[in-house]
Structure 1
Amino acid sequence: MKLFYISAVLAPLLFVAPSCALAETAVAKAGAGKRETNAPASREEVFSTGVAKGRDRLDSATSTSALREKDIEVLGGRSLGDLLRNLPGIRTESSTGDGSSAYTIRGLPLASGGSKYMQLQEDGLPVLEFGDFFNGASDIYIRADLNLSAIESIRGGSSSTFASNSPAGVINLISKTGDVAGGAVQLSTGLDYDTKRVDFEYGAPINDSWRFHIGGFYRVGEGPRRVGFNAFKGGQLKFNVTKQFSNGYVRLSGKYLDDRSPHYLPGPVRITGTNDNPVYGSFNTYDVRRDSMLSGYLGNLVTLDADNKPAELPVSQGQSALVKSIGLESQFEVAGWTVTQRGRYSDIQGGTTRNLVSAIYSGSALPASLGGGAGTFAYATGPRAGQVITNLGALNGNGLVVASSLNRIESRSLNNFINDLRATRAYGVGKGELTVTGGIYKSLQDYTSDWLYSNHIQDVADDGNSALINYTNAAGVRQTQNGYLGFNRSGSTAFFRRDYDVRYNITAPYGSLNYRFGKVAIGGSVRYDSGRVRGQLFGADLGGGRVGMKSVDFNGDGVISVAESKTAFTPYDRPAPVHYNYGYASYSVGVNYRVAEPFAVFARYSRGARAGADKVLFSDKVSTTDGHLVNKADGYDIVKQFEGGFKYRAPSFTVNVTGFNADTEDTNVQAGAITTDRNYTAYGVEAEGTYRHGPFSLRGGVTYTHAKLVNDKLNAAVAGKVPRRQPDFIYQVTPQFELRQVTVGANITGTTSSWVQDNNLMRMPGYKLVDAFVQYRPTDRVRLMLNVDNLFDKVAFIEITTPSVPANGIGIGRAANGRTISMSARMSF
């Protein structure tokens, strides 16, 4: 039935596209000499990410897209997530800041942050082997800057067999390598928000056989949301040097990233109306587009550190990344074989300090755990510290009190060594060409992480002025200490106080055959991933009688307060082993038919998988006594995909349309620590195209997805429901008008409505965001750019965690940033 729907959509397009090809040819013949002189020539678009060998996209049975340097420049994305949402088929939830965005492709599940089924790569190798480590997502450790020459993406297809843990696709950030002499310096500043940034890059041939490139950035500022401190601070430096030989090259590259940015999480949202017709908005003195529950008045995070010693950790750490990497790449022609070797070692540390809202109350209706409105409340921090709050119901004009978990997920080591060695050769066989590829992939990935929690109560205020609140009960006993209810996540347990010390060792041989004869190319590839996982876990919530609560005198006054009596610690004397292996085979087969020079059709079936990583730890899937998988099949989640479509390319017009069907397993942990064990299915169509006529150009894409939760072994009630936050349509379009000195354009992205949660009770509205840009070039070497994000200052909700309309109208959610305007000046040389 699913294939019937896909065929029904594709069939008319398959007839239209050849007609377009014939019409284009007729117009070209009839109007010879009248074509716009600035129209680009039809050319082969060689694409190399996630495939055996770089090919013209019309000769490959894959769905691929790319953003080139000029596209990246005018889009002016504030973060990597903002850029990647311009790739068709990719759903990006990017309002968390510079990192921890959520990514998925073609309706595959998006149960948690990061990118589970899609791999983010830098120059052909993954940034992290697993893109969805809890609060350690890949995009925290990668930045888009002037070093970029292109971003390539492959969706489905051979990504299952030419990369590990990436059945949905691969996005590859490709660096400049100094092929052409030149560079640039760019200064940027926010006009209506606080940010200052400098970028630079330069590359050139040194002589006939050597060339180099170097570049980076540094930035500082509060950022697009008002938090009351410099939430962004740091930068990056990258370099590479290439030695060219007569039969190949060797390239040494390096990267140093030391940067931090805030982690924006869901905050107060006013929700009224009914489940069938909800109304969303902001509360007084808290704008969902501009404010955050982060604040300079929160003070430092007071907790026990990884060594169970009292510590104060700066909230300004936010999402911090310290990356030092060095890579070596080479490619040579040897006895008819093209041998490519890529290897990189990365020393990665960092983590996330975040303010996780657990509950929001009307101050006049607090629960019994917070005094039920009785007792005395007073400010604990900020300029009003010590001041008694006489009317909670009117506090800051909204009367809201928030219970939050202020925490630090410290990634002590995400170090990895990743190597990919492959060899490719083409043979003449009969009247065609047989391309043979074989390779072996090796990955060593650390995951050592400490989860450090405390919890407090605070008010809701704008402009980064939120402060902590003390509560003294009616009997005169202080229930908080400087606003802290306890030095744990919540209540009186040590839940989520954890230490992971785990290492992943992956070996994956792979190979492919592709036979091209005439207009037809038939290919297949196979890969076998073998994983070895070793390490230890520590935490009170492992069960088995483990403990994790004690009293600690944080303020040194010799008295244990109520809050100090609720302190979580890590029980290092009671480890749980991690000691299991897994293995799975992936394969992909496809056929491509080049109907005519500008037109091709293709079909492909693929089976891939994604290893479970940290989401199966601290669960009943891994034994806490011997560390083995209780069921070997729980070590990975399988993804099966079918896709088929067409590609058409003319000098001034291109269109690619792909129908898809995907069946996916997913073992995961949603926000709020909800464990899931599910099967999903999705089908739909994605389309992308470009058009150019004279100074006008248009690039865009749209994806239709029909997704369904087939079952959940832990929650039968969600069977048959639509996955949360999965819209029917996502789209992006970029029209622009380019003259000799001026370029004007817009980048429009949007979605249709979706269910806020898997229970399908209440819908979240769709949105359309318009970003505008103007570029002025007074000389060939100088460019002035004005970028406006969210031009019309729309409220665009990305996430609502409240499952239905609450009786008190108080919900929790996250929206895209409001309008921000930046100016930049670039000088090229």
Structure 2
Amino acid sequence: MKQSLLAPCASFAAISLSLLSAPAFAQDAKPSGDTDVKDIVVTASSAGKTAQNSSISVTQVSQDAILNFTPRSQAEALRSIPGLNIQDTAGPGGNSNIGVRGIPVSTGGSEYVALQEDGLPVTLFGDISFGNNDYWIRFDNNVDRVEAVRGGSASTFASQAPGAVINYVSKTGTQDGGSVGLSKAINYRETRVDFDYGGHLSDSVRFHIGGYAVDGSGPTHLPYTAEKGYQIKANITKDFADGKGYIRLNFKRMDDQEPTFTSMPALATMSGNKVTGFSMIPGIDPRQYASTGLYNQTFRVLAANGTLQQVQMQGIHPVVTSVGGEFHYEFAHNITVTDKLRWTDMSGTFSNQWTGEASTSAIAGTGTLRYADGPLKGQIYTSPFVSNSAQAYVTMSDMGSLANDLTLASKFDMGGMAKVNARAGWFHMRQTIAQDWRINNVTQSLNSTGNPVPLDLFSSTGTQLSASGLTGFNNQWGGCCGGRSYNVNYTDDAPYFELESDIGRLNVDGSVRVDIVHAGGYAYAPVAGANITISDALGSASVPTYNTASTPSERLNYTKSYASWSVGALYKLTNTTNVFVRVSSGGRFNADRLLYNDNNFTSDGKLTAGGDHLSVNTVTQQELGVKHTGHLGEVRVHGEATLYRAQVKESNYDFTAPSRGQNPFIDTVYHASGVELSGTMGWGKFSMNGYVVYTDAKDVVSHKTAFAMPKWTWLVSPTYDAGFAAIGASVSGQSSFYLGDMVTQAPGSTFVNAFVKVRPVERLEIGFNVNNLLNTLGFRANNGSLAVTGPVPGLAANQAIFDNSAMLGRTMTASIKYRF
């Protein structure tokens, strides 16, 4: 990124340097992973409140609780948070759809949900095309806990996240010591090393450093090294005297290549518009299906300069370098300043072969398909089904950002029982999105779980029409998207203000935020070009091309502002039971999703009337909840129940929709309502947590149930820890859900994970984890489709091929960890 840090850093650096030599203050240490409702909430909320005493729906999950079940993706790490609609089967590299409380995920990514590291967003927008926020973050031993705020104050204490804010809170050396661990997959190839260490350098200086390195082929048994990478994170903190605050500097470096799973087809049995069950297509196990292998580990793309280039199939490969800091200081008894700053350089690649299931006879027509590689090279392909879909190579040349959040807080004693807290702040973030898309169409075999083979099409007269399975360059999705190139940037300045008051047992608060977003840059559209002749082992073929136009098709130079607000109240019925109510309205800016969407911008880069309508989505929410923490005899209990409603004005554009036979333009209204029931209990060495969530989400324009929104989701997780050994399980599932057409209903599934830990000597821990213990064939709710329906060769009248990402099959991992 070519950005100057001088202006945003000036005040932060001046204060930091002047106070770095201040007298010391040693804060009390808290055991790592010790997270409960007494912990102060640091995410999208009023400062200084615990989860029990906050008038918001907030969940705090410790590192140990997450690691017990060895999450196979970033989204899996969030499985224990109620209210999230996590469509998590895209793999360890990210690319997951994360929704919340019936709010839709209409175009992929985390449209209304922000992922944060230590209070600053990973990306300004959660659903950047080929750049979702979960590409750039990894859960490891550096994380102390994960906090998730659903609804409520997420509208005013964060930008672009009215649905939820999920914050990875780092360890900061409050406890001396660390750990080193080795984990090894048992039924697939993966080796991972984790470490972390922290502590005090003096009475007033503490630090933490940690990271991981991973190498393997991934849980779909890819025949090459698809997982390879590392992350290093570090921070150092100087505590000021008399408990007045601290200054912290932090650093992160991540370079991690991981596979992505975009489709894992299964055979569906149909009854009308309802899928009644799933089974395997002969020879294809969706629980470990991979669309990449030895024969497409490298492939050709047509670059913007018109040359053919050989590139690698890397899955999702982000590279991140960030530096930043945090300053917190109480200048007077009632005035506190907090500033968080982070500069991040991000780049990488997204490369993947989609699976687009089709009937072989429909693709071959009167001609034939022949194996273009492998031991059957040149022979006619006779299986009834084939994959005919996108082969993508997207260069994310610059996805970097500069973020700063400055807050001034003050406390006032109004006399009697009333106390007032005021907070004013300014959030600034500049997000660059510079990408180049090279997306071809490729035909390959769909007849076995491993190593798909490219297929060449020959006409009835023997003329070769494709080579290495390639039917054209940059020609996928009708040529709309294959040769895109753009360099745009978005700057969000957001002043916000909150007033909060404690009046006896009553706590009330109100907050407002105004986001002012400026967009700039250029976009170049794909245009049709001349055919190119390419060759492979079977001969040569002339294939159509699209490439990037030489002049910009769109210019951005506009500013859009909108306001968000939130009002809430909490009343302490007893010392153990609180009730709360909250009403909120938040905005969400559509960034790069507005590009290449008919007539959104004038020639000088301003928004047209249509573009202005599409530029901001709004979410209005109402919540009523009760929280209880206490004891039932010797049993420790905490429980929450929250009724919620949401109204969503949703405008967006999904460029992949035409490939599913759907309208790419989205302009509708969703209404959702439901209830979250969650709780934890502990009795001696036994503990259990879980939730049940009911959601009723409707598209009020079409009067249909919203897609990918199961009415019921649940999780129960019991654990018994005897000290020398521990055992636990996690059972999670969901009811049926509608596919993207909002007509076809697919069944829900339940999945079981389990773990065992043995501690033969002090500080040493040996573990065994199993995900999907019962090897269940099933799907989490997401925007799937019926790619082929019978009767066709290979399918009966009541059968179809279901296109979606299945849950991975049974995966087992052994680990050893030493704490010091």
Q: Deviations for 1:72-128, whole angstroms, at most 9, x for unmatched residues?
A: 231321222111121011110111102011101100011122111010000110000
**Contact 1:263/1:352, CA 8 A, preserved across alignment:** no
Bigger shift: residues 183-192 or 490-499: 490-499
Which one of the candidate residues 551, 556, 563 is aligned to 1:578? 556
1:549, distance to aligned residue in structure 2 (A): 2.0
Q: Which residue number corresponds to residue 729 of structure 2? A: 746
**Contact 1:496/1:539, CA 8 A, preserved across alignment:** no
State the number of aligned residues. Answer: 759
TM-score by length of 1: 0.89
Q: Tell me how far apart the structure 2 counterparts of residues 621 and 704 of structure 1 sit (CA, whole Å).
A: 40
Q: Which residue number corresponds to residue 651 of structure 2? A: 667
Q: Which residue number corresponds to residue 620 of structure 1? A: 598
Q: Which residue number corresponds to residue 25 of structure 1? A: none
Where 1:650 maps in the other structure, the secondary structure is strand
Matches within 5 A, 1:567-646: 567-620=545-598, 622-623=600-601, 625-631=603-609, 632-646=612-626
CA 1:113–1:43: 2 relative to 1, 3 Å: closer
**Contact 2:572/2:578, CA 8 A, preserved across alignment:** yes
Which one of the candidate residues 418, 430, 444 is aligned to 2:415? 430
Q: Tell me how far apart the structure 2 counterparts of residues 340 and 592 of structure 1 sit (CA, whole Å).
A: 26
Matching of residue 311 in structure 1 with residue 309 in structure 2: yes
**Contact 2:486/2:523, CA 8 A, preserved across alignment:** yes
Which one of the candidate residues 786, 797, 802 is aligned to 1:802? 786
Which one of the candidate residues 308, 313, 318 is aligned to 1:321? 318
CA 1:556–1:90: 2 relative to 1, 3 Å: closer
Matching of residue 460 in structure 1 with residue 446 in structure 2: yes
1:410, distance to aligned residue in structure 2 (A): 1.9
Matching of residue 771 in structure 1 with residue 757 in structure 2: no
1:442, distance to aligned residue in structure 2 (A): 0.3
Q: Which residue number corresponds to residue 37 of structure 1? A: none
**Contact 1:59/1:600, CA 8 A, preserved across alignment:** yes
Q: Which residue number corresponds to residue 13 of structure 1? A: none
Matching of residue 488 in structure 1 with residue 467 in structure 2: no
1:523, distance to aligned residue in structure 2 (A): 0.7
Amino acid at match of 2:374: G
Percent identical pairs in the alignment equals 32
Q: Which residue number corresponds to residue 697 of structure 1? A: 687
1:234, distance to aligned residue in structure 2 (A): 0.5
Q: Deviations for 1:704-755, whole angstroms, at most 9, x for unmatched residues?
A: 10100012xxxxxxx1101111100111111011102111110111100011
1:463, distance to aligned residue in structure 2 (A): 4.6
**Contact 2:464/2:540, CA 8 A, preserved across alignment:** no
CA 1:192–1:92: 2 relative to 1, 3 Å: same
Matching of residue 412 in structure 1 with residue 397 in structure 2: yes
Where 2:156 maps in the other structure, the secondary structure is helix
**Structure 1: which 5+ runs fail to align?**
1-39, 541-546, 712-718
Which one of the candidate residues 628, 642, 647 is aligned to 1:658? 642
Amino acid at match of 1:269: A
Q: Which residue number corresponds to residue 266 of structure 1? A: 263
Q: Tell me how far apart the structure 2 counterparts of residues 817 and 493 of structure 1 sit (CA, whole Å).
A: 33
Q: Tell me how far apart the structure 2 counterparts of residues 43 and 794 of structure 1 sit (CA, whole Å).
A: 34
Q: Tell me how far apart the structure 2 counterparts of residues 653 and 182 of structure 1 sit (CA, whole Å).
A: 31
**Contact 1:722/1:758, CA 8 A, preserved across alignment:** no
**Contact 1:757/1:803, CA 8 A, preserved across alignment:** no
Q: Tell me how far apart the structure 2 counterparts of residues 275 and 804 of structure 1 sit (CA, whole Å).
A: 15
Q: Deviations for 1:647-706, whole angstroms, at most 9, x for unmatched residues?
A: 000140000111100001122234435221121010010111001111111101111101
Q: Tell me how far apart the structure 1 counterparts of residues 697 and 477 of structure 2 sit (CA, whole Å).
A: 37
Matches within 5 A, 1:807-822: 807-808=791-792, 809-822=800-813
Q: Which residue number corresponds to residue 86 of structure 1? A: 80
CA 1:42–1:675: 2 relative to 1, 3 Å: closer
Q: Which residue number corresponds to residue 715 of structure 1? A: none
Amino acid at match of 1:822: T
Q: Which residue number corresponds to residue 4 of structure 2? A: none
Q: Tell me how far apart the structure 1 counterparts of residues 50 and 541 of structure 2 sit (CA, whole Å).
A: 69
Q: Which residue number corresponds to residue 456 of structure 2? A: 470
Q: Which residue number corresponds to residue 544 of structure 1? A: none
Amino acid at match of 1:645: G
Q: Which residue number corresponds to residue 531 of structure 1? A: 517
Matching of residue 378 in structure 1 with residue 360 in structure 2: no
Matches within 5 A, 1:513-524: 513-524=499-510
Q: Tell me how far apart the structure 1 counterparts of residues 355 and 72 of structure 2 sit (CA, whole Å).
A: 25
Matches within 5 A, 1:492-571: 493=479, 495-540=481-526, 547-554=527-534, 561-563=541-543, 566-571=544-549
Q: Which residue number corresponds to residue 228 of structure 2? A: 233
Where 1:814 maps in the other structure, the secondary structure is coil
Q: Tell me how far apart the structure 1 counterparts of residues 653 and 568 of structure 2 sit (CA, whole Å).
A: 34
Q: Tell me how far apart the structure 1 counterparts of residues 613 and 552 of structure 2 sit (CA, whole Å).
A: 27
Q: Tell me how far apart the structure 1 counterparts of residues 138 and 57 of structure 2 sit (CA, whole Å).
A: 25
1:342, distance to aligned residue in structure 2 (A): 0.2
Matching of residue 196 in structure 1 with residue 191 in structure 2: yes
Where 2:573 maps in the other structure, the secondary structure is strand
Matches within 5 A, 1:135-214: 135-214=130-209
Q: Tell me how far apart the structure 2 counterparts of residues 163 and 277 of structure 1 sit (CA, whole Å).
A: 40
Q: Which residue number corresponds to residue 283 of structure 1? A: 281
CA 1:763–1:42: 2 relative to 1, 3 Å: closer
Amino acid at match of 1:648: H
Q: Deviations for 1:22-78, whole angstroms, at most 9, x for unmatched residues?
A: xxxxxxxxxxxxxxxxxx999733212101303122322111001112212313212
Q: Tell me how far apart the structure 2 counterparts of residues 775 and 280 of structure 1 sit (CA, whole Å).
A: 34
Bigger shift: residues 104-113 or 481-490: 481-490
Which one of the candidate residues 110, 118, 124 is aligned to 1:115? 110
Where 2:551 maps in the other structure, the secondary structure is coil
CA 1:319–1:203: 2 relative to 1, 3 Å: same
Where 1:778 maps in the other structure, the secondary structure is coil
Please report the RMSD computed on the Cα atoms of aligned residues, expressed in angstroms.
Answer: 2.0
Where 1:80 maps in the other structure, the secondary structure is coil
CA 1:770–1:560: 2 relative to 1, 3 Å: closer
Amino acid at match of 1:95: T
Q: Which residue number corresponds to residue 329 of structure 2? A: 332
**Structure 2: which 5+ runs fail to align?**
1-33, 659-663, 793-799
TM-score by length of 2: 0.90
**Contact 2:385/2:447, CA 8 A, preserved across alignment:** no
Q: Deviations for 1:149-198, whole angstroms, at most 9, x for unmatched residues?
A: 00000001111111100101100001111111101111001111111100
Amino acid at match of 1:340: T
Q: Tell me how far apart the structure 1 counterparts of residues 221 and 657 of structure 2 sit (CA, whole Å).
A: 26
